[in-house]
Chains A and B, each alone.
Chain A
Amino acid sequence: MPTGYSANDLVLLLPEIVLTTGLLVVLVADLFTGRSRQHWLGWLTIGVLVATAVPIVALSGHATTAARGLLAVDGFGAFFKLLFVLAAAITVLISRQYLEVEQARPGEYYFLVLCATLGMMVMAAGIDLITLFIGLETMAVSFYVLTGFLRPNRRSNEAAIKYFVLGAFSLGILLYGMSLVYGLSGTTRLREVAVALATQSDSLALKLAVVLVAAGMAFKIAAVPFHMWAPDVYEGAPTPITAFLSVGSKAASFAMLLRLLLEGLPAMAPEWRGLFYVLAVLSMTVGNIAAITQGNVKRMLAYSSIAHAGYILIGIVTATPRGVTAMLVYLMIYAFMQMGAFGVLALLRRRDVVGDELKDLSGLFFRRPLAAFAMLVFMLSLGGIPPTAGFMGKFWLFSAAIEAGYVWLAVIGVLNSAISLYYYVRVVVFMWMREELESASVHPSPGVAVALTVAVAATIIIGVYPAPLFELAEASAKTLGMAPRVLSLR
């Protein structure tokens, strides 16, 4: 354990420091900007995120720890931090127009988005129980408020309360599991926990701890049977926040789960493998079947994101370097396609139309051919059709499962992908083949246009030429200390 702090620590923590400074600047700048100039806050927020990305990239080659061994500075963390910054930037880009329609003040909104991003970054870098928990809590509290940000909207209020109550409950369960881990190992640092627990893997209390930690985290990634909150919260939250919640929060929770399981509890691999096997199968199946019956696109995407959590969990079940690599690749691809789909939905929000029912998409092709084309790409990608990125992501996940000997898991995944095509294609049918209901046109702001262009381009380019992303993910997954050791335990 490092014994003190040095200037080096400041350098290694630069991404977090820049982001913290930036979010305080945004908060204060909000006071000094008049009503008419508030769109500058959005660009200031984008600037903060870009400034945060620079040190992340610069530090991505390190493999060390900072702040007395509480935070890891490695490729794994850098990969996720970039994903969060990207997701936050797209969220801010698609938010401006939406907030104007909703007549909500953007100052605190952007501040809270940045706070959530900071929490996620701590979750991805933390290798210490307390640090991880504080990061999770920072993210969660920001999201509770953001979910209820549209105060005149009753659905938003209801979603916030549900999310808060269930979220607090699940955090309690997680914390109980963590306290058991601490009690059994005598340390909060994950890498020391792994050493201390290596010899007592048959202890009943430790098994209980694994179950509690898994349950707490399964809530955060919305895996069945801990998914009940997701449809209501996704439907009620402001659409850009739904996008950020379904991508950022999920990716951060997966990062934290990987840190906890592979860095801290590799000795319990047989136990948590079995647990997550069941959760993965349940999430894929229940998510996809429930999504078929939904008439509201936000709810449908909520169930689809539950199913996607199931696909991604396959990577945890394998716990091989290849499986972890496939998870990172999939989460990055998922970020683009899911944020893009919600971006199109946010575009449909107008003063008099909520724009999240399936029928609101009717005839979109004739009103906004480009938006309809973007939605087509995202739907095909979410369904896993070959020329798009979604196919590559699923391909790697399932092949990692087969390589690790989980053939049935891959078969169930493929069957579920086939089921999911039904409801993704239904959206396309509505856009192309139904009569349009009203002729009012939606004008995308430059921000939304940029966000959708980036998302479409990434979805297609990764689908056609995936090698760079795969190599980046492979190099990042390697730095997650324990992955090879779990492999050798099998």
Chain B
Amino acid sequence: MTIAFYTLAAFILALGVLVVSTKNTVHAVLFLVANFLCVAMLYVLLQAEFLAVIQVLVYAGGIVVLYLFVVMLVNLKRGPETHVDPRRRDRMGLLIGGAVLAEFVAILLYGFAPRATGAAPAAAAPGVGNVEQVGWSLYVDYLVPFEVASILLLVAMIGAIVLAKKEP
């Protein structure tokens, strides 16, 4: 559990860094997809299956397609090529190899270490599914903020139209 969490967290962080540091925009978006998928796995780990599915559908699906459209429409010019270190690949390989090795050692150490039987996160109330629970808290407990959020989306929509429409 803990190992999985830290591994995923490391991947999410690394992919996040890659998203902002990559020069090629399309590559950045693809790293973002990988990042979103890792976050989805994190949700599965936390037993929030519903959130995980939504994450994949909305973020890795919809939002990323939107990003790709923007990248296509804006047609970003590639920045001037910076000086490329000829030994860059070697160093990258060394780094990744080292990380995998460290992970391997960590897994071994953890595997043989006497484990404290930490309680797993409290599962959802028996008999009530994950999705159903989300529904309850969204439409019953947090009904009022949910309604206000609908006004918020209306404002965003009308604001976009106001700012983007052509003058008559």
Q: Which residues of A contact B (CB under 8 A)?
A: 5, 13, 20, 23, 27, 66-68, 70-71, 108, 111-112, 115, 118-119, 122, 128, 130-131, 134-135, 137-138, 141-142, 144-145, 148-149, 151-152, 160
Beyond A67-B143, A145-B162, is A122–B167 a contact (Cβ under 8 Å)?
no
Q: How long is the Cα–Cα vector from A118 to B144 in the complex, in angstroms?
A: 12
Q: Does B156 contact A (CB under 8 A)?
A: yes
Q: List which B45-104 residues lie within 8 A (CB) of chain A.
A: none
Q: Is the interface of A mostly helix, strand, loop or mixed?
A: helix
User: Can you report 28 A-B residue pairs in the complex whose CB atoms are below 8 A from each other?
Assistant: A5-B143, A27-B158, A67-B144, A68-B140, A68-B141, A70-B144, A70-B145, A108-B158, A112-B155, A112-B158, A112-B159, A115-B154, A119-B148, A134-B148, A135-B148, A137-B152, A138-B148, A138-B151, A138-B155, A141-B152, A141-B156, A144-B159, A145-B158, A145-B159, A145-B162, A148-B163, A152-B167, A160-B163
- A27-B158, A70-B144, A131-B148 provided; 5 other pairs, C-beta below 8 A? A111-B158, A115-B151, A138-B155, A141-B156, A142-B159
Is the Cβ of A118 less than 8 Å from the Cβ of B151? yes
The residue of chain B having its C-beta at the shortest distance from the C-beta of A27 within the complex is B158
Residues of chain B within 8 A of A112, CB atoms compared = 155, 158-159, 162
Q: Tell me the nearest residue of chain B to A23, going by C-beta.
A: B151
With a CB–CB cut-off of 8 A, which chain A residues contact B155?
112, 115, 138, 141-142, 145
Contacts of A118 in B (CB 8 A): 148, 151
Q: What's the interface size class on B, roughly? A: 10 to 19
Residue of B nearest to A131 (CB): B145
Which of B152, B155, B156, B162 is packed against the most chain A CB atoms within 10 Å?
B155
Chain A residue nearest to B152 in the complex (CB) = A138
Q: Is the CB of B148 within 8 A of A145?
A: no
Interface SS, B side: helix
Chain B contacts to A: CB under 8 angstroms: 140-145, 148-149, 151-152, 154-156, 158-159, 161-163, 167
When the two chains form their complex, are residues A131 and B163 in contact, meaning their CB atoms are under 8 A apart? no
**A119 CB contacts on chain B under 8 angstroms:** 148, 152
Which A residues touch B149, using CB under 8 A?
134
Complex CA–CA separation, A107 to B149 (angstroms): 22
Distance, CA A149 to CA B161, complexed state (A): 11
* Contact between A108 and B162, CB atoms less than 8 A apart: yes
Report whether A149 and B148 are in contact in the complex, using a CB–CB cutoff of 8 Å: no
Complex Cα distance, B155 from A112, in Å, reads 7
Q: Are A134 and B145 in contact (CB under 8 A)?
A: yes
What is the CB-to-nearest-CB distance from B152 to chain A, in angstroms, rounded to a whole number? Answer: 4
Q: Chain B residues with Cβ under 8 A from A152's Cβ?
A: 167
- Chain B residues lying within 8 Å of A137, measured Cβ to Cβ, are 152
Question: Do B158 and A130 have beta carbons less than 8 Å apart?
Answer: no
The reply to whether B145 and A151 form a contact with Cβ atoms under 8 Å apart is no
A130 touching B159 in the complex, CB below 8 Å, given contacts A138-B148, A138-B151: no
B124 to A: closest C-beta gap in Å: 16
Kindly list chain A residues whose C-beta atoms are within 8 Å of the C-beta of B148.
118-119, 122, 131, 134-135, 138
Of all chain B residues, the one with the shortest Cβ separation from A17 is B147
Contacts of B140 in A (CB 8 A): 68
Given A68-B141, A131-B144, residue A145 in contact with residue B163 (CB < 8 A): yes
CB distance from A393 to the nearest CB of B (A): 31
In the complex, the answer to whether B162 meets A134 with C-beta atoms within 8 Å is: no
* Complex CA distance for A145 and B157, rounded to whole angstroms: 10
Chain A contacts for B145, CB-based, 8 A? 70, 122, 128, 130-131, 134
B151: contacting residue among A20, A66, A130, CB under 8 A: A20
Chain A residues near B154 (CB-CB < 8 A): 115
A144–B156 Cα distance when bound, in Å, is: 10
